Amino acid sequence: MDTVSVLITAATDMEMRAFIDAIDAEGDQQDTCRLVCRLITGIGPVETTLSLAGILHKQPEIDCVLNFGIAGAYLKNDSSIQAGMLDLCLAEQEVLGDLGIQLADKVEPFRDDLPVRDRFVLDPGLLLTASRILGDADIAYKQGTFVTVNCASGTRHRGDQLGCQFHGLCENMEGAAVARVCEAFSLPCLEVRCISNMVEYRNRANWRLWEACAEAGRAAAVIAAGLPAKF
């Protein structure tokens, strides 16, 4: 029988705990065609790159990576799709939103003769498979561009700026790093996040961290359990 070996990644223990709880709640639905291992990457692109590259180097049997977690939704994004609190979102692409030169109202890319990789398309086949799995489970989701930042946006001004510049649905701090490392290892990668906060003037009282972790963990568990051996 064909087997698929899935690496589940999340930035924090809180997010990973929600995945484990969701798997436990669903009972043991694992079959012999699916092997799941887990990695807590740490917060931010640098820790994520280091930890993910390390495990993929040591475990060449991994076939794909499912990255999940929480995210902040842009209130203004110049696209037709708007994510709201606790919405589930799938990434079509990831951009490195603060790699460049910060001007008053935009992040200016470097000159053409200083090329940088700042945009990564996630695996379309895996994205379609995940969409079907969520659809079959009656779990609603949105999909679009995710923006990865080193420095989380703590003002509405910066959020509007990044959302509009990149037509971004939401921002996070690890996704582009996961996508870049997977590309280097020629592995398909999927990213699913649940909105824990709107990107506005920082106010922790408005955040719904625990519920967002629970929803993201549940979606990751449903997708992991539904992945076929070939996609």
Ligand X SMILES: O=C(O)c1cccc(C(=O)CC[C@H]2O[C@@H](n3cnc4c(=O)[nH]cnc43)[C@H](O)[C@@H]2O)c1
| Chain residues that interact with ligand X, rule: CB under 6 A | 11, 43, 69-72, 149, 152-154, 171-174, 196-197, 199, 202, 204
Nearer to ligand X, 36 or 43 (CB): 43
Nearer to ligand X, 195 or 225 (CB): 195
What 116-120 contacts at long range (C-beta under 8 Å, 24+ apart), as own/partner pairs, is: 117/180, 118/176, 119/93, 119/94, 119/95, 120/93, 120/94, 120/95, 120/176, 120/179, 120/180, 120/183
CA dist 170 and 147 (Å) reads 6
Nearer to ligand X, 72 or 217 (CB): 72
CA dist 63 and 115 (Å) reads 30
Nearer to ligand X, 4 or 86 (CB): 86
Strand partners for 138: none
Instruction: Give the CB-nearest residue to ligand X.
Output: 72
Nearer to ligand X, 159 or 188 (CB): 159
CA dist 30 and 112 (Å) reads 48
CA-nearest of 79, 88, 53 to 165 is 79
In the complex, least distance from residue 94 CB atom to ligand X, rounded to whole angstroms: 11
In the complex, least distance from residue 118 CB atom to ligand X, rounded to whole angstroms: 17
In the complex, least distance from residue 9 CB atom to ligand X, rounded to whole angstroms: 11
CA distances 33 to 30, 91, 164, 169, Å, are 8, 26, 42, 34
Q: How many CB atoms lie within 10 A of CB 161?
A: 21
In the complex, least distance from residue 21 CB atom to ligand X, rounded to whole angstroms: 18
In the complex, least distance from residue 23 CB atom to ligand X, rounded to whole angstroms: 21
Q: How many CB atoms lie within 10 A of CB 121?
A: 12
In the complex, least distance from residue 3 CB atom to ligand X, rounded to whole angstroms: 30
Nearer to ligand X, 173 or 225 (CB): 173
Instruction: Please give the distance of CA 168 from its chain centroid, rounded to a whole number.
Output: 13
